[in-house]
Structure 1
Amino acid sequence: MLRFADEHSPQLTLYGEIGVKKGEAEAQMPALIEKWAKEAGEPWPPDGLYHYGFGSFWTWMQNGPHYSYTKFRAVPHARYVTEMWFDKITRQTWRN
């Protein structure tokens, strides 16, 4: 049976991968980053002094059950946009 995605369910991307809408991914980022920080033993909440590694977070998302949050349409691409959100949430915008 063919099922059409509603606004809250994953959808196929251009490459046939399951993804979410950009707005949904952005809304979930604070919770996902906090979950990652706790699982990785990173200090939380951010105080602007600790340097969090985006690469570690991105790998955690891609290799776990949150993979669909790495697949959304964005310019230039989802990884770049997610890194900007990550820097803002972890108070590392000075790096940009």
Structure 2
Amino acid sequence: MTKADVQAAFTGLLSEWRRRPEIRLVDEQQLSFSSFWGWLKDTYPQATRFRSVMGASADLEQWFDRATHQAWRN
């Protein structure tokens, strides 16, 4: 997948992860990128391997932080 492909799919991937029973009731501000990253690597490994100046993990974390309103942490 390209970075653009993953970015386009990101909202759906995040929503799928959020529907997991152990994540569903977690407050948005308490969501963990490392948990999402681990799930993504196990479930959709192709979405964790794209070319990027910052690296796939850094790009995904940035998108995750924006989507979960945690960008203030950066």
Deviation >4 Å, runs of 4+: none
More helix by share: 2
Q: Which has the larger radius of gyration?
A: 1
Aligned to 1:61: 40
Q: How does 1:5-84 map to 2 (within 5 A)?
A: 20-39=1-20, 40-43=22-25, 46=28, 50-64=29-43, 66-84=44-62
TM-score w.r.t. the length of structure 2 is 0.87
Cα separation, 2, equivalents of 1:59 and 1:31: 16
Cα separation, 1, equivalents of 2:25 and 2:2: 29
TM-score w.r.t. the length of structure 1 is 0.69
Instruction: Give identity over the alignment, percent.
Output: 32
Number of aligned residue pairs: 73
Kindly indicate whether structure 1 or structure 2 has the higher relative contact order, using CA contacts under 8 Å at least 6 residues apart. 2
> Structure 2: where are the runs of 5+ without partners?
none
RMSD over aligned CA atoms reads 1.7
